[in-house]
Amino acid sequence: MNETDSKNKQETQQIDLAGLLWDFLHSLRRLWPVVLVLTAAAGFFFYNRGRLQYNPMYSVEATVSVELVNGGSYANRNTAEQIGLTFPQINRSGALPDVVAADLGTEGVPGSINVTNIKGTNLVTISVTAWGPETAASILHSVLRNYPEVAQYVVGQTELTVIDESEPALVADRSTVVRGSARKGALIGLAAGLALVVLRAAVFRTVRSEEELRSLLNVQCLGTLPVCHKKKRSSTERDEINILTDVNRGSYVESMRLIRTRLERQMEGKKVLMVTSSVAGEGKSTVAANLAISMALKGKRVILVDCDLRNPSVGRIFRVEEKCPGLVAVLNGKATLEEALVEVKSKDAPTGLRLLPGADKESRLVEILGSQAMRQLVDRLRDEADAVILDTPPSALLVDAMMLVRHVDGIAYVVMRDYARRRVIFDGVEELSAGGAPILGCILNGGRTRSGKYGYYGYGKYGYGKYGYGKYGYGGYGYGYGKGTKHSSRSDSHKSKSAKEKSKTEEK
């Protein structure tokens, strides 16, 4: 291996370690309530167990001199050292505990025994810990009587003379023992919580940046949409972003223009674009809607088709509140295309954008998306518009998007930052690639922008737990016509004040 390869390998390892650390910290941020609950619960459990099972423990010890029968002072010191070294083996072998238990008339030794040698002397310290002062003293006296007999086959025949014996003393009071049990339980709960965090970090790896997205999918990143929070005036108000009417969306609008420009270069000579994502909740319907608005504001004729028959979202974004024929009605021949198309207008003028809603509340005929009627409809839409955008269900969850791949010229794939697992994203893109339509690039939603800001959008509820329209139907579009909501005067003011700047930017 040459020096360059070795350096690249080291850099890759450093990047991987940094990624793993980030995944751990991110998982900890997500799971810290779980870690806190486990720590508190385990601490509380051990606290109560320690309080209920507490029994006062007492300790007593004696310092004795060791004298070897028919031995000198040197032999006595050597014997004391041997006693200190060999006592753990004698105690573990059961020889001494059996003798002490028989002496006390119990099944086992109701306490713990320890012997240590005072270096350089013929003195050893015998300590006993047991429940109750009398029990501790009884065990100590039994050891003093029986130990010489047990140890004579190891160190020879010895005599033990008690020099000093302490009174039984309480090892720890109730509060100390209970606090210790609580700390032990809290540490166990904390360890269990951190183990869950590590497990999640190892399994649930997501995409956090354009670099990671390109590395995972090996496709172009069309751009990153920045933070965009929208305050709701009521608990029932939806908070999808619509750059046609929402004000103070400068960074979002500019990012969308950049994405639009890159897509237009990719789609030169082509018209039909699919916008999809891996899973629900990544904001692909909002991206599709605002991409269509951005193209229409440039002067193009754009048709946005809601192909998500299970959970139509385009009507909510544009506040379409009255029922009108949708995509399924057109495909079944129950309505004409002209009757189903909804023209989007601002107060000043038409935008060049038309909507084709998805389906009525009862429709679940998703197989119709792959029919010959759908192909004929798409071919007709090519003649009706300069650009056709199909908003489809998530590709990694449902087969709906795969049915539409044969009808489109390109695919824009939306990935929410730090949301779907990498494996799910990869599988979704792989499924679409097998369909034949080129994936023009990915759009990172809620990611870091060049200004260094990043976050998530207030996109409302995109969950697929319930497939339906909620309380929003289709028809009566309210931006300057129909029976829908009134056009926002704030938006009109914003548009009139910045009309020249917008036109210049669009021309660029």
Domain containing residue 104: CATH number: 3.30.70.1130
The pLDDT tens digits of the residues spanning 365-386 come to: 667 888 889 999 999 999 999 9
β-bridge mates for residue 127, sequence order: 61, 114
**43, part of any domain:** yes
Do 104 and 132 share a structural domain? yes
pLDDT reported for residue 86: 73
What pLDDT does residue 391 have? 93
Is residue 233 assigned to a domain?
no
Counting as low any pLDDT under 70, the low residues of the chain are: 1-16, 19, 69-76, 84, 155, 172, 227-239, 247-249, 321-322, 347-350, 359-366, 447-508
Clarify whether residues 312 and 295 are in a common domain: yes
CATH code, domain carrying 319: 3.40.50.300
- The pLDDT, as a whole number, for residue 500 is 41
Tell me if 260 is assigned to some domain: no
Domain shared by 424 and 310, yes or no: yes
| Helix H or strand E encompassing 352 | strand 350-356
CA atoms within 13 A on the CB side of 418: 18
Judgement on whether residues 303 and 386 belong to the same structural domain of the protein: yes
Buried b (16+ CB within 10 A) or exposed e, 310-337: bbbbbbbbbbbbbebbbbbbbbeeebeb
Residue 378 lies in a domain: yes
Name the pairing type of β-strands 350-356 and 342-345.
antiparallel
Task: Evaluate whether residue 266 is within a structural domain.
Answer: no
CA neighbor of 323 nearest in space, from 485, 483, 488, 486:
483
pLDDT recorded at residue 490: 33
Asked if the structure places residue 254 within a domain, the reply is no
**Same structural domain, 294 and 426:** yes
Q: What is the pTM of this model?
A: 0.60
pLDDT at 248: 63
Tokens of 138: 């009884």
Q: Do residue 120 and residue 196 come from a single domain?
A: no
User: What is each CA distance from 205 to 224, 291, 395, 504, in whole angstroms?
Assistant: 20, 29, 19, 42
**What residues contact 134, with CB distance under 8 A and at least 6 apart?**
168
Does 129 lie in the same domain as 95?
yes
Domain that holds residue 286: 271-448+467-507
Half-sphere exposure of residue 233: CA atoms within 13 angstroms, side-chain side: 0
- If asked whether residues 13 and 93 sit together in one domain, one would say no
Number of domains in the chain: 3
Q: 321 with 297, same domain?
A: yes
73 shares its domain with 192: no
142 and 49 within one domain: no
User: Do 107 and 30 share a structural domain?
Assistant: no
